[in-house]
Structure 1
Amino acid sequence: MAASRKTPPDLIDRLTQQWPDLESGHSVLELGLSGGLDSVVLLHLLCRWRAAGGPSLSAVHVHHGLSAYADAWAAFCEALCRDKGVPLRVERVNVSRAGGESLEAEARKARYAAFGKSSAKVVVLAQHQDDQAETVVLQLLRGGGPHALAAMPAWRRLGGLSLWRPLLDVPRSALQAYAEAHGLAWIEDDSNADPRWRRNWLRLDWLPSLAEVQPDYRRSLARVASNMADAAAMLDELVEQDRALCEVDGRLGLAKLSSLSPPRQRQLLLRWAQSHGLGEGTPAALEEFRGQLWTAARDRNPLWSLPHGAVQRYRAALWPVPDLFGEVPEACEISFDPASRADLPQWGGVLSWRADPRGLELRLGQPLVLKPRQGGERLAQAAGRKPVKTLLQEAGIPPALRTRWPLLFDQSHELVALPSVAVAYDAKSGGGERWWPLWQPKAWQGYGSVE
């Protein structure tokens, strides 16, 4: 903990001038308070603003449990907020490498999940110009593109709330001068001195060496982030234009895609796959798939495997395929309700119903069973019993999705429908109201069923 006396920089005006009119209706801010220098200074500034008629204030401290001092840090924040009259919530999170990412990345995810629980519309974070410079260098070392090199935006959405970083143009030295001038106390995270963390190595070793030859590197790297943010925004606009050109019902048409330059193809494929929740693969895998789009024989169906599914070429279009390598779901019972949309996460989609004279005659609450394909199933049609495989092919369902397409059975274990594709011919007779089952894989939500 520390304290001293110097003339503070005029930070309060810089803070309030960043507050846009569009956010003026939000009367409560919540500060992410670690207890470190930057967040303690920001707490002091926000309390001054509150006293001058600014927004009300609360705070959140995320207890990661990764340090032996974690309880002491939480107690420090509680005492500080109690003294300032600021409501504080302490969020205890469990951080592990179970997700396959680094401990830093998992801790960051847990922090933002805690921020997302805020009842305020704006969560204020205390990252400063030094943090921004470090982030730019880290992303550069990782080979990041424009979006990565744009680093941290001053404003961004997180679910239903906004994250605001008002100190990104303020160097840490200015924050320390302010804290010392106001006699503020803060905690020092012992892990910040551990050079095994790459960010700490940058802060403790590499960046001080850079400062010897370029003292204004922070401003220069912040300018890089600003320029890259503009470039990323322009790239976003171009990708959206290309998507509007190529996409129909959630699928990308190859004819239109082929009219784009290779860089635009790559960007569209990456962003399109991410928008369907499929994740991001390696550049080499993307380039191999992109080449196969134009060279593979027409009867082949190239597949781009991704962390959370795949993209498959089929019949002159690209299809999003969610959770390709997950376990095949087990049979499940449902009750017919035409007003409901049954979200079936184990199947990776939503089952709904549409009134249709071609459909099944069903009564409210009638039990039905969804089963996965086993192979060899046939569905009664006017011309006889037709293989399910053939019906799926005729409906244009790509091969990777066929094993996950649900089959609908009645109580007597008779196959009565292939949702969105066909219903049993002999199930259509009768005089009651008829309903057509619709299946919407989760990657297509917002685009409708296959019909």
Structure 2
Amino acid sequence: MAASRTPATADPPRRIAVAYSAGRDSTALLHATATAAVGQGVEVLALHVHHGLSPHADDWLLHAQRQCARWVKQGLPVRLCAHRLARRPAVGESVEAWARRERYRALREMALQEGASVVLLAHHQRDQAETFMLQALRGAGVAGLAGMPPVAERDGVRWERPWLQRPRSAIEAYVRQHRLRFVDDDSNDQARFARNRLRLEVWPSLAAAFPQADASLADAATWAAQATEALAELAAIDLAEVADAEGLKLSAWRALSPPRQVNALRAWLLREGGALPGSTLLQRLQAELPGTGDARWEWPQGVLHRHRGRLTHQRAAHTADAEPETSLRILKAGRYPLPRWGGVLVAVRVREGGVHSAWLAQLELRPRTGGEQFMAGIGRPARSLKKQYQAADVPAWERDGPLVYSGGQLVFVPGLGIDARVQALPGQPQLGLRWERG
């Protein structure tokens, strides 16, 4: 009896998923996995994504259904799960990139819906070698040359490539030995796709001249992966010394050797913006950061500023159709997200310089309109925000966020802090406020 038909009274079977396109490689991996799972109490899910890009897609799905049905009759614990993509690539969007992104999204959704936390992928040594070559031709750095990892944890799913070191010939031999039926994707013959051009026009000559090309290039990807991990560890060590919550300390950063400067800067930008910076931006920063005075550099993740000996990151402004939040209640210490203002208001317990909690029970959030007066200290005159910002040397990009009022009284200003007129008395319970962008 197939594991998928286990009685309800028994413990549910463990599940492992295989990304199954019905092509040669995924057919071999699915068959090998299902064969190994016999008698182990493991159900194997065949995850098939119907992209809708080929006129043969319906036939491929039918083939997958019939193949899995035959294997179930033979006693293999396999079950097909299929998903049809409803979206289509946008005009001008790379079909390759779109198909890959949507395929992984669908695979993840199916795996999690079925309770499988592991998805096996049938990439092999030739695939890794091709990835290395394509990345090198695109001018990728060490991280790009590392190619596909054998194991990756993303979004609640563990992606594994058990055959990444296996030669293509071994998979072909397995298919012949077990007389496995599979489909051929006609798009593999279309030279307009970069990987196909490499396979059809370059690889035959490369393999003829260098028979060990597959293994050698796949090994190079492994070395690049190890180098990437070592560089990440080095960057973590350096950033502990040259960066803090306020930004990158440029004097400490300049004390590093030029290669370590680039490595630390790349890691800091990745941490700040969530994306690897382009080589052009890195080259500009390395050349221009040692300068003096204020400066700014734009990139897709926001704006970088050099100010007061630090490099800081102002995230890209959040755009939204709705108006920013206009009210807020703060009853205790914590983080209070204000997404339409593009940041978070943070309340922390303090012993002095804070505001009594009574002021925070009903707050109004307003933008700057001009004419607002702020008192920077007890006994000091209230002055315009513009003058207070200038006196405190607060740059323009640190002046965003809402002005916080209570009962018509200004309570808090991003970049300046608590207005002295509402500061709590010594011994009173009080909260400090700060504004965090992004």
Which of 57, 72, 75 is the aligned partner of 2:44?
Answer: 57
Match of 1:409 in 2: 405
SS, match of residue 313 in structure 1: strand
Superposition deviation, residue 270 in structure 1: 1.6
Match of 1:17 in 2: none
Q: TM-score, normalised by structure 1?
A: 0.81
How many Å separate the matches in 2 of 1:258 and 1:100? 42
Match of 1:354 in 2: 348
How many Å separate the matches in 1 of 2:227 and 2:172? 33
Between stretches 328-337 and 279-288, larger displacement belongs to 328-337
Which of 339, 344, 351 is the aligned partner of 2:338?
Answer: 344
Alignment RMSD? 3.0
How many Å separate the matches in 1 of 2:92 and 2:396? 30
Preserved contact between residue 330 and residue 371 of structure 1 (Cα < 8 Å) = no
Preserved contact between residue 394 and residue 415 of structure 2 (Cα < 8 Å) = no
When residues 373 and 280 of structure 1 are mapped into structure 2, their CA distance, relative to the original with a 3 A threshold, is farther
Match of 2:420 in 1: 425
How many Å separate the matches in 2 of 1:101 and 1:205? 24
SS, match of residue 67 in structure 1: coil
Paired residue type of 2:50: H
Superposition deviation, residue 257 in structure 1: 0.1
Between stretches 107-116 and 44-53, larger displacement belongs to 107-116
Match of 2:296 in 1: 303
When residues 397 and 27 of structure 1 are mapped into structure 2, their CA distance, relative to the original with a 3 A threshold, is farther
When residues 50 and 220 of structure 1 are mapped into structure 2, their CA distance, relative to the original with a 3 A threshold, is same
SS, match of residue 165 in structure 2: coil
Match of 1:19 in 2: none
How many Å separate the matches in 1 of 2:286 and 2:58? 51
Preserved contact between residue 377 and residue 387 of structure 1 (Cα < 8 Å) = yes
Preserved contact between residue 353 and residue 424 of structure 2 (Cα < 8 Å) = no
How many Å separate the matches in 2 of 1:246 and 1:207? 45
Which of 17, 22, 34 is the aligned partner of 1:30?
Answer: 17
Gaps of 5+ in 1: 1-25, 443-451
Superposition deviation, residue 279 in structure 1: 3.1
Match of 1:18 in 2: none
Q: TM-score, normalised by structure 2?
A: 0.84
Match of 2:198 in 1: 202
SS, match of residue 167 in structure 1: coil
When residues 110 and 398 of structure 1 are mapped into structure 2, their CA distance, relative to the original with a 3 A threshold, is farther
Superposition deviation, residue 27 in structure 1: 4.4
SS, match of residue 140 in structure 2: coil
How many Å separate the matches in 2 of 1:316 and 1:325? 27
Paired residue type of 2:145: L
SS, match of residue 342 in structure 1: strand
When residues 254 and 415 of structure 1 are mapped into structure 2, their CA distance, relative to the original with a 3 A threshold, is same
Q: Does 1:86 align with 2:78?
A: yes
Identity %: 34
Preserved contact between residue 65 and residue 93 of structure 1 (Cα < 8 Å) = yes
SS, match of residue 437 in structure 1: strand
Identify which of structures 1 and 2 has the higher relative contact order when contacts are C-alpha pairs closer than 8 Å and 6+ apart. 1
Match of 2:373 in 1: 378
When residues 391 and 88 of structure 1 are mapped into structure 2, their CA distance, relative to the original with a 3 A threshold, is farther
Paired residue type of 2:165: D
Paired residue type of 1:76: H
Match of 1:274 in 2: 270
How many Å separate the matches in 2 of 1:98 and 1:350? 34
Between stretches 362-371 and 344-353, larger displacement belongs to 362-371
Match of 1:145 in 2: 141
Match of 1:66 in 2: 53
Which of 397, 401, 419 is the aligned partner of 1:400?
Answer: 397
Paired residue type of 1:353: A
Preserved contact between residue 132 and residue 152 of structure 1 (Cα < 8 Å) = yes
When residues 253 and 416 of structure 1 are mapped into structure 2, their CA distance, relative to the original with a 3 A threshold, is same
When residues 160 and 355 of structure 1 are mapped into structure 2, their CA distance, relative to the original with a 3 A threshold, is same
Preserved contact between residue 95 and residue 107 of structure 1 (Cα < 8 Å) = no
Superposition deviation, residue 305 in structure 1: 1.5
Superposition deviation, residue 194 in structure 1: 0.5
SS, match of residue 290 in structure 2: helix
Superposition deviation, residue 177 in structure 1: 2.1
Match of 1:369 in 2: 364
When residues 323 and 127 of structure 1 are mapped into structure 2, their CA distance, relative to the original with a 3 A threshold, is same
Preserved contact between residue 108 and residue 157 of structure 2 (Cα < 8 Å) = yes
Q: Does 1:156 align with 2:156?
A: no
SS, match of residue 440 in structure 1: strand
Superposition deviation, residue 40 in structure 1: 0.8
Superposition deviation, residue 102 in structure 1: 2.2
